């Protein structure tokens, strides 16, 4: 299992360009890169995006290029609005193709019971076993907009390298969100449900994207997590989101939110949305994921997704990853997270650069380097622990 190397300038819009590189990096077929580049030349807005990538998905399907078709459907669906009737269709086609592409003997799927007050729901999980005793057991989850199935190539790389993986979707993600279960900052709760179900007491937890925040929050309270990987770091989701608007708007919004001026905040954000399609899309997605009904409520909810108040409770070995040119997460959060981890057993921090084609969010452009870095870190800790090196296990 290998991944392509290269972060390509396919579209002038930074957000669209990232998504194109994101999906290509999971597939790596040169013809796909050519097709995406051609489509990008005629994409001006999200309607164009949807049309072009649905067309490419259908064309690839006709040619039996199933993996390419799957990621084209995921790509097309990504910028669709929540109430778009084509959204669920594209999602289902993506899931169907992914189950067709990958050998079911490589993994097992489970539904983990999860209690929400008086409501019983389930969390989908995939178990990737190893033939030999595994080096470590990895608990893997995504972030704000990921589907666990899109990460299958990563899990197969980890599996082939001797690691056992349990990958799951929690509240606000994938199939759980489809079941109208909103995201929670109390991520130790879904983690506990998964660990209880599989009777696990020692795992390496890896959180992708917003998962880099969630994994720190989970590890602070769930000590069956023995090692922690923030892939990438994210200390303050509120700041990340407000980074997408102009500084003057950001300052005004912050003051109004502190003053709890709900009506003014909603009016101001509505004005921003009319001028910025990416803001309109992001706010609508955010309200859907967090289960909030107004922009004001959504932005207030974002403030709960932070690591400052819990990082001092993290006592495990921690690996922090970040891209030096991440257009979502400001680089200062990388240094903030290092400083906040005052009581960890060890902390390793890795900043990826443009030279490595890994400087953007979650190392799109060089996924393999990121995963090799994670595996080398785990191997080093295994060697340390096997040697009997002494340390205080808090």
pLDDT tens per residue across span 233-286 = 999 999 998 887 778 878 888 899 889 999 999 998 888 777 777 778 888 999
Written as one string, the DSSP assignment of 5-73 is: -------SSHHHHHHHHHHHHHH--HHHHHHHHHHHTT--SHHHHHHHHHHHHHHHHHTT-HHHHHHHH
**What is the rounded distance in angstroms from the CA atom of residue 282 to the CA atom of residue 139?**
28
Higher-pLDDT residue of 106 and 94 is: 94
Answer yes or no: are the C-beta atoms of 306 and 237 closer than 8 Å.
yes
Please state the φ and ψ torsions of residue 121, each to the nearest 5 degrees. Answer: -130, -175
Model confidence at 361, in pLDDT bands (50, 70, 90)? Answer: very high
pLDDT of residue 280: 83
pLDDT of residue 254: 86
* Residue 391, pLDDT above cutoff 60: no
pLDDT digits over 144-164, tens only?
Answer: 988 999 999 999 999 999 999
Handedness of CA 326, 20, 301, 220 (dihedral sign): negative
* Residue 130, pLDDT above cutoff 50: yes
CB atoms within 10 A of CB 332: 11
Which residues, including other chains, have CB under 8 Å from residue 165's CB and lie 6 or more apart?
126, 127, 128, 137, 138, 140, 155, 158, 159
Handedness of CA 53, 55, 59, 62 (dihedral sign): positive
Token pair of 330 as six digits: 């400001």
pLDDT of residue 392: 53
Q: Nearest Cα to 7, choosing from 33, 32, 38, 41?
A: 33
**What is the pLDDT of the chain when averaged over all its residues?**
93
pLDDT of residue 104: 75
pLDDT of residue 270: 86
Model confidence at 85, in pLDDT bands (50, 70, 90)? Answer: very high
Higher-pLDDT residue of 145 and 380 is: 380
Task: State the residue for tokens 């909103």.
Answer: 182
pLDDT of residue 389: 62
Higher-pLDDT residue of 130 and 389 is: 130
Question: What percent of the chain has pLDDT above 90?
Answer: 84
121 to 4, 207, 236, 320: CA distances (angstroms): 38, 22, 29, 32
Please state the φ and ψ torsions of residue 324, each to the nearest 5 degrees. Answer: -70, -15
pLDDT digits over 290-335, tens only?
Answer: 999 999 999 999 999 999 999 999 999 999 999 999 999 999 999 9
Measured at the CA of 174, the angle between CA 170 and CA 179, to 5 degrees, comes to 80
Measured at the CA of 179, the angle between CA 175 and CA 184, to 5 degrees, comes to 85
* Residue 394, pLDDT above cutoff 50: no
108 to 99, 170, 325: CA distances (angstroms): 11, 18, 37
Domain architecture of the chain: domains with CATH: 14-101 (1.20.1440), 106-236+305-386 (3.40.50.1820), 238-302 (no CATH)
Mean pLDDT of 166-185: 96
């Amino acid at each position: 299992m290998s991944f392509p190397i290269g972060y390509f300038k396919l579209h002038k819009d930074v957000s669209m360009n990232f998504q194109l590189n994101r999906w290509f990096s999971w597939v790596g077929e040169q013809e796909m890169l050519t097709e995406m580049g051609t489509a990008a030349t005629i994409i001006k807005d999200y309607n164009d995006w949807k049309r072009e990538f649905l067309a490419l998905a259908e064309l690839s399907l006709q040619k039996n290029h199933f993996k390419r078709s799957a990621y084209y459907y995921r790509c097309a669906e990504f910028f669709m609005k929540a109430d778009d009737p084509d959204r669920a269709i594209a999602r289902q086609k993506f899931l169907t193709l992914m189950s067709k592409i990958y050998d079911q003997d490589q993994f097992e799927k489970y539904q983990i019971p999860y209690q929400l007050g008086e409501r019983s729901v389930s969390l989908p999980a995939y178990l990737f076993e190893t033939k030999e005793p595994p080096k470590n057991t990895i608990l893997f989850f995504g972030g704000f907009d990921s589907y666990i199935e899109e990460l299958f190539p990563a899990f197969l790389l980890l599996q082939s390298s001797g690691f056992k993986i349990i990958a799951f979707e929690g509240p606000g993600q994938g199939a759980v969100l489809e079941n109208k279960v909103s995201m929670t900052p109390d991520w130790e709760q879904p983690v506990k449900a998964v660990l209880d179900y599989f009777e696990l007491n020692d795992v390496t937890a890896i959180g992708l994207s917003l998962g880099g925040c969630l994994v720190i929050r989970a590890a602070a309270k769930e000590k069956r997590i023995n090692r922690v990987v923030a892939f990438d770091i994210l200390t303050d989701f509120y700041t990340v989101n407000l980074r997408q608007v102009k500084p003057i708007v950001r300052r005004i919004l912050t003051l109004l939110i502190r003053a709890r001026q709900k009506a003014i905040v909603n009016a101001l954000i509505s004005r921003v949305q009319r001028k910025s399609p990416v803001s309109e899309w992001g706010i609508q997605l955010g309200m859907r994921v967090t289960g909030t009904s107004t922009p004001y409520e959504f932005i207030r909810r974002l403030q709960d997704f932070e690591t400052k108040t819990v990082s001092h409770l993290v006592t495990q070995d921690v690996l922090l990853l970040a891209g030096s040119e991440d257009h979502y997460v400001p680089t200062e959060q990388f240094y903030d997270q290092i400083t906040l981890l005052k009581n960890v057993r060890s902390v390793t921090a890795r900043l990826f650069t443009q030279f490595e084609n890994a400087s953007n969010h979650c190392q799109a452009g060089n996924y393999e380097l990121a995963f090799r870095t994670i595996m080398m870190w785990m191997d080093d800790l295994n060697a340390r622990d096997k040697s009997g090196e002494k340390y205080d296990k808090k």
